[in-house]
């Protein structure tokens, strides 16, 4: 593949795509990026692309703020038009968003070879829209780039060895990004001086199963409030979640800050005591920066983190959150284990894509 369309729609996907885009530029690949606009992010200005060394999108679809069906349908329609115009040799999608499945369906229906980065991940929770997106995207992909042995084995158990596709374990490009950008973050970010908290726990929560359930949300807030009595808890909070807290008259006792950019997030991860999150990406980033993690879900795609005691699953139960914190906060773990490729994932992926 020498002419590729990359489809992304959320900031984490741009960070992942940056790792491959840099290599494509060096390897003579003609890549054009479609930004669906799925997650509207005011931080994604021209400066964002310059600092992250990401090629500016050739197409901005600006599709956001509507339901799953309308969003996916509109994306599919507009992506199909672009693919018919551009006639790429391959389409590249990342992860498990609506942008991912829309791009995958458009490519598959036009018989354009499809590459899926982060293939094979499973939470086995079909109530999650992300689970549906990743399963369907895997099934119609031609080149499946898997971050872990577990992901490869998931595909084998589902019979993918009998399908017309290629399965490759390449590692996790998120680790490549974290290792590459940490020095830039230290030069650019002033978040630590603004916070002036020498010791803190970093927490994030955004999943609808947690924010839209009054019971789950209250459990998380109660758990974080209890931890905050022992150590400062800092939470970058989306305005939507803040509005829900206000509407339900739930009072956080921890420190709430505005949502942060990628460089700020890297520095918070590097300098925090430990991490509490419901994000799949942040679970891994905690590991990349040598931090224990509590995950506010009942399952995770990144089972190797739990199996090796870097991560504890608590759901939204405040008692379990407090118990996990007391167990994890001073735990000494060896984070040198090579779970995700140690920064070589993008090189392997780019070579496989070009050769396909």
**What SS3 state is found at 194?**
helix
State the Cα torsion 128-129-131-136 to the nearest 10°.
160
Please tell me the distance from the alpha carbon of residue 95 to that of residue 8, in angstroms, as a whole number. 9
Which of 35, 39, 116, 206 is catalytic? The answer is 206
Q: Using an 8 Å Cβ cutoff, are 189 and 263 in contact?
A: yes
Q: Using an 8 Å Cβ cutoff, are 126 and 137 in contact?
A: no
Nearest to 180 by CA among 350, 22, 340, 48: 22
Active-site annotation holds for 64: no
> What Cα–Cα distance (Å) separates residue 111 from each residue in 32, 87, 130, 293, 348?
18, 11, 24, 41, 25
The token pair at 213 is 């359930």
Please tell me the distance from the alpha carbon of residue 341 to that of residue 344, in angstroms, as a whole number. 5
Specify the residue for token string 């795609």.
Answer: 301
State the Cα torsion 50-342-351-138 to the nearest 10°.
-90
Calculate the CA 270 to chain-centre distance: 17
Spell out the residues 6+ positions from residue 42 whose beta carbon is closer than 8 angstroms to its own: none
Which residues are known catalytic residues? 206
């Amino acid at each position: 593949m020498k002419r590729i369309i990359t489809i992304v729609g959320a900031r984490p996907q741009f960070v992942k795509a940056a790792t491959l885009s840099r290599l494509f530029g060096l390897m003579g690949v003609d890549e054009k990026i479609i930004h669906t606009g799925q997650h509207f992010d005011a931080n994604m200005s021209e400066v964002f692309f310059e600092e992250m060394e990401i090629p500016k999108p050739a197409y901005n679809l600006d599709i956001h703020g509507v339901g799953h069906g309308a969003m996916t349908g509109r994306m599919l329609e507009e992506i199909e038009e672009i693919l018919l115009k551009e006639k790429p040799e391959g389409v590249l999608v990342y992860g498990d968003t609506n942008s991912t499945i829309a791009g995958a369906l458009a490519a598959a229906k036009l018989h354009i070879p499809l590459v899926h980065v982060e293939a094979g991940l499973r939470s086995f929770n079909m109530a999650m829209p992300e689970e549906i997106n990743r399963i369907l995207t895997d099934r119609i992909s031609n080149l499946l780039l898997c971050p872990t042995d577990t992901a490869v084995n998931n595909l084998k158990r589902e019979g993918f060895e009998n399908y017309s596709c290629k399965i490759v374990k390449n590692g996790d490009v998120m680790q490549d990004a974290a290792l590459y950008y940490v020095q830039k973050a230290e030069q650019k970010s002033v978040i630590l001086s603004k916070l002036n908290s020498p010791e803190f726990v970093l927490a994030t929560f955004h999943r609808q199963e947690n924010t839209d359930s009054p019971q789950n949300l209250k459990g998380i807030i109660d758990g974080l409030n209890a931890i905050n009595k022992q150590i400062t808890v800092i939470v970058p909070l989306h305005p939507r979640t803040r509005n829900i807290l206000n509407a339900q008259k739930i009072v956080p006792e921890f420190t709430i800050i505005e949502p942060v950019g990628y460089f700020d997030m890297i520095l918070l991860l590097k300098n925090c005591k430990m991490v509490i999150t419901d994000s799949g990406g942040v679970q891994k980033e905690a590991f990349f920066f040598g931090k224990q993690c509590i995950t506010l879900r009942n399952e995770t795609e990144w089972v190797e983190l739990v199996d090796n005691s870097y991560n504890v699953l608590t759901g939204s139960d405040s008692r379990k959150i407090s118990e996990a914190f007391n167990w994890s906060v001073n735990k000494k773990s060896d984070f040198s284990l090579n779970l995700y490729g140690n920064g070589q994932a993008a090189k392997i992926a780019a070579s496989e894509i070009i050769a396909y």
